[in-house]
Amino acid sequence: MASFLDHMQYTFKIENSTEIIRSIRSGEQPPAHYKLDVDSFSQVATSLLLESCFLESTEFNVGGYRWVIQIYPNGNEKDNGDGHISIYLKLCDKLKPHFFINVIFRALIYDQERNKYLIIQDLQEKHFDATNAIWGMPRALPQSAFYSECNGFLVQDRCTFGAEVFIINTNTPTGAKVSTLDSNSTRTYTWRLEKFSEISIYDNTYSPEFTIDSRTWKLHVYPKGYGAQKDKSLSLYLELAQRNDLTAGNKLYVEYELGMKNQLSGEDRIRTTQHAFHKSSADWGFPSFVPISDLFISSKGWVMDDVLLLEVRFKHSFMLKNI
């Protein structure tokens, strides 16, 4: 069966009148500056990118500047990217006023069946300055072409993207990998808080540390509430205790449930969230989880025999890490 690469038109006009060109080259010539391998792409696209709608890579250095690429698996609707894979280049360094960088940006997608790279290049130079730090191609590749089995871009739910940034000089290529951490091991932890009436007089307390997906975590509870919920609601958070390796943009994406067990009716309070844990953002949860006024009403079933049961359950997790 003929592939997208066999029939593609190399140059075409997209709706905002910016001209792009598509070409191919051998897989023996990898991306010059950055490569991103993604496992479990469909799960990444549907379950863990709900907040931002795009996957942002780790940082790489070209020409003495720090860059990342942003990939919209479902297209950037705000930039007329419906029905396409959208790919952008972002400058991480803040430029001084009146200073600018002109860049030619190439995005690459690997055809795993034929060992070839599809190169997607904007023919116009992109002008980065203090007010314009992101440029890209909202209609880089039709989703129908990307997901079609005959094209080889997505094989066993794995794919590879690349980036080439042309300024004056370039540095050594770097790369990253997105890997699923889902496992068959137990991914639920239940915290039994005995003598909760005594614990509840404190501002906050931590659970014992526990391990899920080979990482150390702990639950963080504010019995009297945190921030704006002080004296209103119990606040509950998940905290990543082991995060020393989450540097240089490395992130751990987790979708999880936080719960409070109802010991009377069995109708637990469960709330689902997702967060990209990294070195400077190590905890995430809910400041308003259960009203304080309900906790010690026995008919509510939350605290029984002075015991409160809190729980966390991991649903999906992915690691974005430099390689």
The answer to which of 135-139, 175-179, 245-249, 288-292 has the lowest mean pLDDT is: 245-249
The pLDDT score that the predictor gives to residue 44 is: 84
Res 50 pLDDT > 90: no
- The C-alpha atoms of residue 29 and residue 115 are separated, in whole angstroms, by 10
**Helix (H) or strand (E) segment spanning residue 122:** strand 116-122
- pTM here? 0.58
pLDDT number for residue 47? 67
Would you place residue 183 in the very low, low, confident or very high pLDDT band (cuts 50, 70, 90)?
low
> What pLDDT sits at residue 171?
32
| Cα 201 to Cα 198: distance, rounded to the nearest angstrom | 6
Going by C-alpha positions, the residue among 62, 44, 60, 42 that lies closest to residue 52 is 44
Residue that has been written with the tokens 């990482």 in this structure: 215
Ranking 239-243, 247-251, 278-282 by mean pLDDT, the lowest is: 247-251
Q: How confident is the model at residue 17 (pLDDT cuts 50, 70, 90)?
A: very low
Instruction: Report the alpha-carbon distance of residue 167 to residue 94 in Å, rounded.
Output: 17
Bridge partners, residue 270, by sequence: 259
CA distance linking residue 174 with residue 25, whole number of Å: 20
Tens of pLDDT, residue by residue over 204-236, are: 999 999 999 889 999 999 999 999 999 999 999
Q: Which ranges of the chain would DSSP assign to H, the alpha helix?
A: 4-7, 41-46, 143-147, 196-199, 292-295
